[in-house]
Amino acid sequence: MPAFCNLARHGTRPPTGPISAHRISPLEPAQTQAHKRTLRFTDSGATNVAQPALFLRRTGLSNTAKKVSGKALLESILSSLDDNKAEDVISIDLKGKSEIADFMIVCSGRSSRQVSAIAEKLSDDLKQKFEIFPKVEGKEQGDWVLIDAGDVIVHVFRPEVREFYQLEKLWQGAGPGDA
């Protein structure tokens, strides 16, 4: 077995003597998980391969297989939301206000089940049409689901939760550089 395999599995160099004479101490669980996510082991050692999402967006190395403009993505998302009966759909242009995304969409579903279904269907549509694998948060609870599709961020709320947070008022009032 090559030396780098032992290093990757156990955090140690291979034993040089009889195996029973050496005790291999594995890394602690937190370190093991961190190494699995951020390190790639090669013959020359470990290299960091983890990249923050914002860095990936800024450099054009996003998780999208097909290059799609923000406007085309926005139109497709709005169409999907309309097909799935999302209510009170508001689109906010974030260009010049935020580096996170170009557009933000805020919409509502009538119940937790519908909110989760809208998010699931939108995620599936993005995967099929654009080969985009969006990040989805909050789908299990169904109160507020965030879908990060790169240039477009979608918030799907239950009506009571949307009224409480009033997210669209926060962003519609922001001017360039205020966000």
Distances (CA, A) of 153 to 22, 82, 99: 53, 16, 12
Quick one: tokens of 117? 């279904």
pLDDT at residue 66, as a whole number: 56
67-85 per-position pLDDT tens digit: 677 788 999 999 999 999 9
Domain assignments of the chain as residue spans, ordered by start: 3-50, 62-172
What pTM did the predictor assign?
0.61
Burial group, residue 60, by CB count within 10 angstroms (0-12, 13-18, 19+) = exposed
pLDDT score of 35 more than 50 = no
pLDDT at residue 69, as a whole number: 75
Mean pLDDT across 50-59: 45
Quick one: tokens of 124? 């599936």
Mean pLDDT across 143-163: 94
| Torsion angles phi and psi, residue 172, rounded to 5 | -70, -30
User: If one looks up domain 62-172 in CATH, what number appears?
Assistant: 3.30.460.10
Top-ranked range on mean pLDDT: pick from 14-18, 33-37, 65-69, 90-94: 90-94
pLDDT at residue 60, as a whole number: 44
Contact 145, 155 (CB under 8 A): yes
